[in-house]
Amino acid sequence: MEEQGQRRRRVVLVPSPHQGHINPMLQLGTILHSKGFSITVVHTQFNSPNPSNHPEFEFQSIPDGLMDVNISARNLVDSILLLNENCREPFRKWLVQMIKEQQPGDEIVCIIYDEVMYFAEASASQLNVQSIILRTSGAVTVVARLVLFQLKEEGYNPLKDPNKLQDPVPRLHPLRVRDLPISPSEITESYVQLINNAYSVRTSSAVISNTIYCLEKSVLSQLQQYFKVPNFPVGPLHKFAPSSNDSLLKEDTSCISWLNNQSPKSVIYVSLGSVASMDKKELEEMAWGLVNSKQPFLWVIRPSSNNAPEGIELLPEVLAEAVQENGCIVKWAPQKEVLSHVAVGGFWSHCGWNSTLESICEGVPMICMPFFEDQKVNARYSSHVWGVGLELEHELERGVVKKAVRKLMVDKEGEFLRQRAAQLKEEVELSIRKGGFSYNSLNELLDLINKF
Ligand code: UDX
């Protein structure tokens, strides 16, 4: 709560308009607000956050010119480049106006922008406002992309050769070519442009990373060689801001009542995040595998953007019935609540960075089925470095799914995954407690902002 007479200096947040990016930015806003800052969120019209989730913030929409663009995983890179072009001038104008109108004690102290919303830095530096970058992916993804670009300069380019997909990548152990965080599977000019822009610090004073030191210790120190400004690993942000809820889709909370009726650690939660999608054949194999595993499951099947048949409507009748008998299907779940529910014992995930962190924080082991970009790195690290994940390597097939689910949830050969997940949860808890690495890092960040 604001104390009487206390100065509430303003922090402007500029999130990228995708669920996996909006969540950590607004969680950071919630933390900063609790530390006495006023918060203004400047957002695009596309995927705009719901202001009623944060009556304590101010929201400002700027035109993004994306109305006629059908944004999907395929044109993500181009749409982000376009967004930066389109938002640059409206943001600058808004900032000029804000600075003109600001009252003593309510000055903009700094702008915190998602690394892919780098247009914000241009206006900040032009108008002498401090800026800080928020990275919403893991540090290893950043290092992997930087090393990959260096290797490319040195003439290494295995991406086009399908026979090299299993080869280890030099300097990036344990990543293989197939785990590299790029999509589609070639380094296009637009991709290089986007990553160079996103990773260039320019005049920004610091980087905030939604990661945890105990997970990425060695890569974080490697990163410090690339970026000369302080990097604050303050993750997992959702644990410092448990009240922040920024779902773009309506959460179906009926699944919590369903979970309440299941035995402890018996349920596998299945969700592939906010972007990835499945075709009919894959959906069918997933469904057979889940039903045949004999474990209860909670399955998120997002609505399609057109009005085409979707979810279990696509399944043959007999399978749809079996799915409904053994599982609970929702269009969007309160994921953090689900993962912390006592009935949940495993997570079949696409390994988006937020989902990976949320699972690790609750000690829930994962079946890793990445689709694109950083998801592939997160999956490889979950299985081969942190020891909490089981990679689904082969074609999606019902027998493979059944075996993986049983290994993760009940079979003896999966015991090490369950144990390691429980251990890692404890390590993470230590880092967010008073005196822990993330706790201290967050305080250092606040000190820096207070000095601006
Ligand atoms: C996108 C990219 O796909 C990913 O590679 C990148 O790391 C972040 O942005 P997304 O698909 O949104 O990721 O996944 P993720 O990062 O896991 O974020 C999804 C968020 O939505 C999580 O915070 C999760 O808790 C939430 N969620 C997901 C729900 O609240 N309910 C659901 O049913 C599913």
pLDDT tens digits, 80-94: 999 999 999 999 999
Res 227: pLDDT: 87
Distance from the CA of 375 to the center of ligand 1, in angstroms?
10
What's the average model confidence in pLDDT over 122-146?
97
Q: What number does the ligand 1 atom closest to the CA of 336 have?
A: 25
DSSP 138-196: -HHHHHHHHHHHHHHHTT--GGG-GGGTTSBPTTSTT-BGGG-S-SSSS--HHHHHHHH
* Whole-number pLDDT of residue 395: 83
Distance CA 225, CA 216 (A): 15
Among candidate residues 409, 407, 413, 349, the one with its CA nearest the CA of residue 382? 349
Dig out the tokens for 22 from the structure. Answer: 């909006």
Please check the confidence at residue 101 and state whether its pLDDT lies above 60: yes
Nearest residue (by CA) to ligand 1, atom 1, is 20
How far apart are alpha carbons 40 and 43 in whole angstroms? 10
Q: Can you give the pLDDT at residue 4? A: 43
What is the CA(248)–ligand 1 centre distance, in A?
A: 11
Q: At 366, give phi and psi (nearest 5°).
A: -125, 150
Nearest Cα neighbor of 255 from 188, 157, 337 is 337
Ligand 1 atom having least distance to the Cα of 339: 25
Cα separation of 183 and 15, whole Å? 22
Higher-confidence residue of 209 and 227: namely 209
- Top pLDDT among 259 and 106 is at 259
Partners of 271 in beta bridges? 349
Task: Choose the residue to mutate in 337, 354, 360, 376 for probing ligand 1, maximizing ligand atoms within 8 Å of C-beta.
Answer: 354
Task: State the CB neighbour count (10 A cutoff) for residue 59.
Answer: 16
**3-class DSSP state of 389:** strand
* Ligand 1 center from residue 412 Cα (angstroms): 30
Q: Is the pLDDT of residue 393 over 90?
A: no
Q: Which residue has the higher pLDDT, 309 or 373?
A: 373
Report the C-alpha dihedral over residues 173, 239, 42, 141, rounded to 10 degrees.
0
pLDDT at 71: 67
Instruction: Supply the pLDDT for residue 6.
Output: 56
pLDDT higher than 70, residue 185: no
DSSP characters for 33-66?
Answer: HHTT-EEEEEEESTT---GGG-TTSEEEEE--S-
Instruction: Classify 392 in phi/psi space as left (phi over 0), alpha (psi -120 to 50) or beta.
Output: beta
pLDDT surpasses 80 at 237:
yes
Asked if residue 230 has a cis previous peptide bond (ω within 30° of 0), the answer is no
* pLDDT, mean over the chain: 92
The closest residue, in CA terms, to atom 4 on ligand 1 is 352
ipTM: 0.98
Distance 20 CA to ligand 1 centre (A): 4
Percent of the chain with pLDDT over 90: 78
Least confident of 6-10, 167-171, 233-237: 6-10
pLDDT at residue number 306: 55
Who wins on pLDDT, 404 or 304?
A: 404
CA distances for 409 relative to 16, 268, 290, 370, angstroms: 35, 8, 12, 20
Match 């995930």 to its residue by tokens: 349
Mean pLDDT for the stretch of residues 199-215? 97
What percent of the chain has pLDDT above 70?
Answer: 95
pLDDT of residue 69: 67
Residue 7 has pLDDT above 70, yes or no: no
Question: Is pLDDT above 50 for 376?
Answer: yes
Q: How confident is the model at residue 40 (pLDDT cuts 50, 70, 90)?
A: very high
The pairing of beta strand 10-14 with beta strand 131-135: unpaired
Write down the pLDDT at residue 88: 96
CA neighbours closer than 13 Å in the CB half-sphere of residue 230: 14
Decide: 123 and 92 in contact? Cβ < 8 Å: yes
Q: Which atom of ligand 1 is nearest to the CA of 251?
A: 31
Q: What is the DSSP code string of 348-406?
A: EE---HHHHHHHHHTT--EEE---STHHHHHHHHHHHTSS-EEE--S---HHHHHHHHH
Q: Summarize pLDDT for 43-82 with one digit per residue, the tens.
A: 999 999 999 999 999 999 999 887 766 766 668 888 999 9
Question: By the 8 A CB rule, do 47 and 24 touch?
Answer: no
Asked whether the predicted pLDDT for residue 264 surpasses 50, the reply is yes
Note the pLDDT of residue 2.
Answer: 42
Torsion angle (degrees, nearest 10) of CA 237, 242, 243, 249: 70
| Site residues for ligand 1, CB cut-off 6 Å | 18-21, 23, 137, 247, 271, 273-275, 300, 332-333, 335-336, 352-355, 358, 373-375
Which amino acid, residue 292? N
Cis check: omega of the bond before 184, within 30 degrees of 0:
yes
Which of helix, strand or coil describes residue 282?
helix
Q: Where are the alpha helices (DSSP H) in 213-253?
A: 213-226, 237-240
pLDDT at 308: 57
Of 44-58, 95-109, 178-192, 349-363, least confident by mean pLDDT is 178-192
Q: How far does residue 336's CA lie from ligand 1's centre (Å)?
A: 11
Confidence category of residue 359, pLDDT binned at 50, 70, 90: very high
β-bridge pairing 108-114 and 10-14: parallel
